[in-house]
Amino acid sequence: MQKTPGDAPFPVPQPHRRGGLLRPRDPLIDVFPIQSVHIDWDRLIAKRPLILKTVAQMPVYLLKPEVLGLLDAEKHPTYRLVLDLMWTTGARISEILALTPSSFIEDGYGYGVVLTTLKQRPGRPKKTALARSVKRYVPIADLLLQDRIQSYLYAGKFRKGERIFPMARQTVNRHINSLVERVGGADFRISCHTFRHAFAVHLLLHGRPLKVVSQLLGHRSIESTEIYTNVLTVDAAHFLDGVDFH
């Protein structure tokens, strides 16, 4: 029977033969297609009140220049690290407060943190909640942050299973309120969860897939993540460019 093109399997690359030994080809390196984007931060900040006013259940979020302003103003090393981890991992404050030295992983190919997926609850997470919760891995690519984490762990001399941030969620929120007041205040209340929302919006503004963002946030359903896409679609004036009505 004559084969049709659809019957043929995909071709498999063959290894090189050198000196009678099979040697694999040089490894192929695939790079994520979106390498850089241009973001008009002033425009997005100006558009935010409209988004919060017109999109039901849209959470309050910060944008990169605002987050960096808060981080620069934070001089306490412990609180600075807490804020930085929430911003760069999208973790809930309960997940940050559950971190131990063994939560941070270096495998030779990258550095990251294993988060125990925990819902927002008062105080620090209980051992029973930690034991039954799903874990997820979030990469930390920033070399300066990696160094700050490792320096903090070294200076703290924490035991392997000891929590590295011995504080409650309310304590962190009160500190954030004081920090915001020191930098001049804000038009909305900023809490620990605001940094999580900022992380999600930041990834989507850089074109990262919604499914990946959802997994990094530890959402059970991608529908929970879709709310953040409104930041991408509310400024729709460019869709009307070139369309004349008069």
The tokens describing 160, both together, are: 């392997």
| CATH class given for the domain over 41-235 | mainly alpha
Binning pLDDT at 50, 70 and 90, where does residue 233 land?
A: confident
pLDDT band at 22 (very low <50, low <70, confident <90, very high): very low
pLDDT digits (tens, 9 = 90+) for 196-222: 999 999 999 999 999 999 999 999 999
pLDDT surpasses 60 at 104: yes
What are the E-state strand segments in 98-139? 104-106, 111-116, 135-139
Instruction: Compute the distance between CA of residue 94 and CA of residue 119 in angstroms, rounded to an integer.
Output: 7
Residues with Cβ within 8 Å of residue 28, at least 6 apart in sequence: none
Give mean pLDDT, residues 31-50. Answer: 86
Q: 143-163: per-residue pLDDT in tens?
A: 999 999 999 999 999 998 999
CA atoms within 13 A on the CB side of 6: 0
**How do the domains of the chain map onto residue ranges?**
41-235
CA angle 50, 56, 58 (to 5 degrees): 70
Cβ proximity of 92 and 116 under 8 Å: no
What average pLDDT score do residues 94-104 get?
A: 96
Cα dist from 224 to 87, 206, 237, whole Å: 19, 19, 26
Crossing angle of helices 169-182 and 192-205, in 10° steps, is: 70
Give the pLDDT confidence of 235-245 residue by residue, as tens digits. Answer: 767 677 778 89
Choice among 17-26, 33-42, 81-90, 113-122 with the minimum mean pLDDT: 17-26
Say if CB 26 and CB 47 are below 8 A apart: no
